[in-house]
Structure 1
Amino acid sequence: MYVTDRRAVRTAARALVVPAALAALAVAAPRAAAHTELDISSPGANAELAGLPPRVTLTFSDPMTQKYAKVAVTTSDGKSAADGEPQVSGKQVTLALDPASPAGRYTVGYRVVSADGHPVSGSYTFTVAATNPSPSPRAEQSTGAAAPRAAQKPTPDNPDEESSGATVPVLAGAGALAVAAVGTYAVRRRRAGHGH
């Protein structure tokens, strides 16, 4: 009777331990099977921007390690647009961009390793539109936008030239008056002479 009871206890214990172990494995399995992923990217994949952002920011599902963080941003002709090295802060990896980089299509490529050893890699693209800068005053003059101003009367550089130009007609008019006055005086004198 005693032996039978011991066997029953062992069987019951086994029956309880096996499901408990399976339950523990089931709870732990999703965590072990879960891989580190890219959650958010800024700018996002296929984004169309009016100007180049100051940096690319990648946010992952797990903290990253600085040592193995590799991020590259290249222009459409394959040149690097990076300004420095990637920087890791927890789950975020950022890479500053060179503000002198041209408009066009950019490719972001990354290969990082999470703190628990999971590698993550991938790539995506975004586009920066070409901007039309407003023309400078010098450009307006060189393209002829200031042509109406050229049609106006030019202002002389030397004020004496302007005053001398205005003086000539005045002197000519004064000279004509003087000639007329002398002529009138001569006619009166003749008449006065005839009167004697």
Structure 2
Amino acid sequence: MSRNVTVLDYGSGNIHSAVRALERVGANVTLSSKSSDVLEADGLVVPGVGAFAAVMQGLKDVDALRMIGRRVAGGRPVLGICVGLQVLFDEGVEHGVRTQGMGEWPGVVERLAADVVPHMGWNTVEAPAGSRLFSGLEDERFYFVHSYGVQKWDFDVTQPAMQPPLVTWANHGGPFVAAVENGPLSATQFHPEKSGDAGAALLENWLKGLG
């Protein structure tokens, strides 16, 4: 059964490659920022390239923060990509400027502690046991293009019944968060749409969890 997926259109680049990648794995894709398209889709994909602050402003301009929040609160799947992952954290720091993020997860997006930045190219990841996104993909490589990332993870589970998020790590000058799976909310720092067959398989895994 094909799933209806909306790719959020808020002025970010690289949107059409995400659309094509999702269509490749069988999704019915709508590129839109209309409330009905965003809220009613089986899955929502939030891509993002460029600066943290610019992406946050673009999301605010189309009322996406409210719509993403409504989907997550209702258990409706959302997948963030690249800066679409970063804005889900507390804040981003670029060139000394702090920008508030969506605060779904605690953490600060900062410049990578590496001699060579940006981190550009293929890299392996370390996925945790039980990951659905990386099922069957534990030994694959994925394509990264970024200068900033979340390098510390400090998530306190306040209720015993809560399942802690599953965090996947990669390394470039030190460890950084490569992906998070947290109930309906998932995100990757790398670009599955640029990651060939491995990225397509990851998107298929995400689609399988839409219902």
**Is TM > 0.5 for Structure 1 vs Structure 2?**
no
Q: Which has the higher contact order (CA 8 A, sep 6+)?
A: 2
TM-score, normalised relative to structure 2: 0.22
TM-score, normalised relative to structure 1: 0.23
Bigger fraction of residues in strand = 2
Bigger fraction of residues in helix = 1
